[in-house]
Amino acid sequence: MKKRIMTWMASAVVLSMMAGTALADITIGVTIPITGPGAALGIPMKQSIELWPTEISGEKVKVILLDDGGDPSAATTNARRFADDDKVDVIMGSALTPAAIAVAGVANETHVPHFAFSPIPPTAVKEWNFVMPQFSSVLAEGMFTRMQQDGVKRVAFIGFADSYGQQWIDELKNAGKKYGLEVVAEERYARADTSVSGQVLKAVAARPDAVFIGASGTGAALPQIGVRERGFTGKIYVVSGAVTFDFLRIAGKNVENTIFSSGPVMVAEDQADNSPTKQEGLAYLKAYEGKFGPNTRTQFGSHPWDAMAILKKAVPVALKKAKPGTTEFRTALRDAIETSGPYDATHGVYQFTPKDHYGLDQRGVVLLTAKDGKFQILPSNK
């Protein structure tokens, strides 16, 4: 059995010793991969949680953080503990799509508001789930438009052999048709794989105009490096889950001029002053990189920050109807999240409704390229 890690934030340690205040604490249960193949995503999230406030609207915040190792079974166990034993007011996680889907199911069954830190498909999103990352359909629009402008027609896909990779191949096969894109190769690999040489050979043999990588974290660097080492000189497009400085470090010179879809937080400083995402993005970078060092930001890490930005606005509304620790408060909080937007955040402007629990539009998308070990906003090719 994988080792479980439970971390209590400093405020929670103090609160656990305060008799008679449990009912008033806003308790948040977080399940993310601090170990295992998803740790590159989960650790920045854990570090961002360390930046959370100790109270919201006068109510103390108590955080319970558990490691799920990226395993859907462990994530399910953690979520059930949060709901059944800890009686949390909010569940957050996980960082990998399969585990996030598992948590979403528990949250809906137990009627606890849930913030997913990984994109989960519409079939898994019910009335208690709110998705923080941009869903593939939002990110794909800008990416596919650019591919069309670049003259791309034949595309080879290399991506994860799980629900995250499936979202992207589905977008490429379905929405891509509108942009004249034809999938000439579809290759998949597991997150834990250390080689994708076979997949790369088949993808390059299909003679595509471009390679589209549907993977996240440092694992996305495998096909990036592989196709360049095989002499492929065409365009490479990579999805937002791979936009990390670790990816740039591992891929090295092989990543030059690759095009990425991304949330605005990765280039917060470069946004126009009137951008609705700039202020929150800069606040996050000041707090996060001020503590953990320059160029340590990730898209994943900022999802907990954005979830807290939403709670800061929604919790005061819910408190008018009920106290934390009650079923009435959880229902009121869900309703408040749906109706208290818009929420300016690092990743975009969230506007949830009872019928839309994704909340982001094109304000949550930028296209980037890589040069000299840094991400840059992609110049227009018009």
The pLDDT tens digits of the residues spanning 361-379 come to 889 899 999 888 889 999 8
Nearest one of 128, 81, 71 to 102, comparing CA atoms: 71
Query: Which distant-in-sequence residues (6+ apart) come within 8 Å of 32 by Cβ?
Result: 38, 41, 42, 45, 46, 65, 67, 68, 92, 93, 94, 95, 117
Which domains are seen in the chain, by residue range?
6-134+282-351 (3.40.50.2300), 136-262+365-377 (3.40.50.2300)
Which is higher by pLDDT, 19 or 220?
A: 220
User: Which contacts qualify for 378-382: CB closer than 8 Å, 24 or more apart?
Assistant: 378/146, 378/259, 381/146, 381/149, 381/150, 382/149
pLDDT of residue 230: 94
Amino acid at 26: I
Average pLDDT value for the chain: 91
Q: Above pLDDT 70, what percent of the chain?
A: 93
> Which pTM was predicted?
0.84
Q: What digits encode the pLDDT tens for the residues 114-147?
A: 999 998 888 999 999 999 998 888 889 999 999 9
pLDDT over threshold 70, residue 78: yes
Mean per-residue pLDDT, 278-290: 96
Note the pLDDT tens digit of each residue in 222-244.
999 999 999 999 999 999 888 98
pLDDT, average across residues 42-66: 97
Quick: pLDDT tens for 305-339: 999 999 999 999 999 999 999 999 999 999 999 99
